[in-house]
Amino acid sequence: KIILKQKDEL
């Protein structure tokens, strides 16, 4: 599945 809006990156 495609996950959007994951803010674990810098």
Partner 1 sequence: MNIFRLTGDLSHLAAIIILLLKIWKTRSCAGISGKSQLLFALVFTTRYLDLFTSFISLYNTSMKLIYVACSYATVYLIYMKFKATYDGNHDTFRVEFLVVPVGGLSFLVNHDFSPLEILWTFSIYLESVAILPQLFMISKTGEAETITTHYLFFLGLYRALYLINWIWRYYFEGFFDLIAVVAGVVQTILYCDFFYLYVTKVLKGKKLSLPA
Min dist CB 8 to partner 1, Å, is 5
Which residue, chain included where needed, has tokens 């990156």?
Answer: 9
CA distance 3 to 7: 11
Binding mask of the shown chain, residues 1 to 10, with x at each position contacting partner 1 by CB under 8 A:
xxxxxxxxxx
Residue 6: which H helix or E strand, with range?
none
User: CB 6 → partner 1: shortest distance, Å?
Assistant: 6
Compute the chain's Rg from CA coordinates: 8
Q: How far is the CB of 9 from partner 1 (least distance, A)?
A: 7
Q: Which residues bind partner 1 (CB under 8 A)?
A: 1-10
